Amino acid sequence: MECHKINLGADLKGIPKPLLVCVTSHMTYWYPGVIEVIKIIKSIFPSVPVVLGGIYATLCYEHAKDNTGADYVVKGSGELEVLKVADNLSGRKRDYGFFKERMESEMVPAYELYPKLNSVSMITSRGCPYHCSYCASFLFESRLMFRNSENVVTEIEKYVTKLGVKDIAFYDDALLVDSEKHIIPILEMLIKKRLRARYHTPNGLHPKYIDLQLARLLWKAGFKTIRLGFEGTSTMVQKASGHKVNGQEFESALYCLQEADGGSSEYGNDKDASWDIGVYLLVGLPGQTVDEVVEAIEFVNKLRVKIKLAEYSPVPSTDEFKKASMLYPQVTYEPLSHNKCTFATVGMGIDYETFDELKSLAKRLNAELKRSNVHHWLS
C-alpha cells in the first residue's frame, strides 16, 4: 500500500484543483483501502468534496457514510447521482431524462491514463435477468441494459490498436443473454476486425445460452478463458441460483464448446490455443453439506472439465445474507467479516481441515485431468 500511496499522492499533486473527486469501491471487505485513498485525497485537496460510489458504498451505505470520510455516498449505478452532485456544486440545471432509456455507452474507463497496460476489463451490459439468492446484482441495476454493439467493438479496437492491450476480460453479469441482438453481433464484428487479442470471461457465463453457433463464434473471435456458472447439483444450490441451468443444459454447453475448439488459432497450433474452460461450483453456502459439494465436484470431473470452487461470502441485502447473519452476527456490522476466508466454513458448519480436504479433492482431480490432457496432446 505504501508504494501506491506515494504514487497516488504525487500524481494528485501534479493536477489542477478539481471541482469534485469521485472514488469507486469494490469488495465490501476492502473498505480500509477506500478510507486510505480518501485520506490521501483530503490531504492534498482538503476543500474539494469527495463522492464515493461502487459496490461497498451500495451494499454498506451507512458504514461507508460513517467511516470513510467521503462527503457524498451514492448507491447503485452512480453516473446519474454523481452528475447531480456535480451540477449542484456548479449551479447547473439540466434535464436528466436521457439517462432513463438505456445504458450510457460513451462512459468508458480512461485506460489511456495508465503508462502501460497489457490487459483491461470491460462490460458490454448491466444487470441480470436472474435473481440468485446470494447475489446483489439487482441492487445496482434492476433492468438488463445493453451497450451499443458497435461502440463496444470500437472500444475494444482502441484498446488493442492504440494501447497495445493483449488480454480483455468481460465482467458482464449476463454476457450471453439475448445473444442474437447483443453478443453475436459483437463477435461477428470482432472476427471481421481480426484483432490480435485474447478474451476472457472470469465472471462466469450462463451455460444454457451456449449453442454450437455461439461457441464457434466465441472461438473464432479469440476467446480463451471460459468460465461457466454451474454452482452445484443439489436442489438447494439450484434453487439459490434461480434454476438458471440444469445438468442437461450444462452438458450441452460443454459439448458445444468442445466441438468448437479447433485446437489452433492465430497464436499457434498447440495445446495453449485450446479453450481454458473452468466450472464454478459454489461452496460454503449456509446449509450446504459436504456430501453435496463432493457430488458436484465428481459430476463436473466426470465431464472432464476443470473445477473452480467459488467460496461463498455473505453479500448484504441478499436472502442468503439473512441466513448468514444468524450463523455469524458480525456480518451485519463489520464488512471485514464478509471475506470468504472468514465465512465459508461457518456456512457449512465444518472445520477448516474438512474444508481444506474439499479444496484438495478438487485440486487433485484437476491435476489428474491436466496430466491426462497433456498425455492425449503428446500422443
List the pLDDT tens digit at each of the 379 positions of the chain.
444 445 888 888 889 999 999 999 999 999 999 999 999 999 999 999 999 999 999 999 999 999 999 999 999 888 888 989 999 999 998 888 776 655 554 578 899 988 888 999 999 998 999 988 999 998 888 888 899 999 999 999 999 999 999 999 999 999 999 999 999 999 999 999 999 999 999 999 999 999 999 999 999 999 999 999 998 888 778 887 777 888 899 999 999 999 998 644 443 334 456 899 999 999 988 888 999 999 999 999 999 999 999 999 999 999 999 999 998 899 999 999 999 887 767 777 788 888 899 999 999 999 999 888 654 444 4
pTM of the full predicted structure?
Answer: 0.88
Cell numbers at 313, concatenated? 461470502
Domains recognised in the chain with CATH numbers: 2-96 (3.40.50.280), 111-378 (3.80.30.20)
User: Across the chain, where does the E strand assignment appear?
Assistant: 21-23, 50-52, 72-73, 119-122, 125-126, 145-146, 167-170, 198-205, 223-231, 276-283, 306-311
Cα 290 to Cα 127, 303, 354, distances in angstroms: 32, 21, 8
pLDDT confidence of residue 161? 96
- 268 conformational bin, left if phi > 0, alpha if psi -120 to 50, beta if neither: left
pLDDT confidence of residue 168? 98
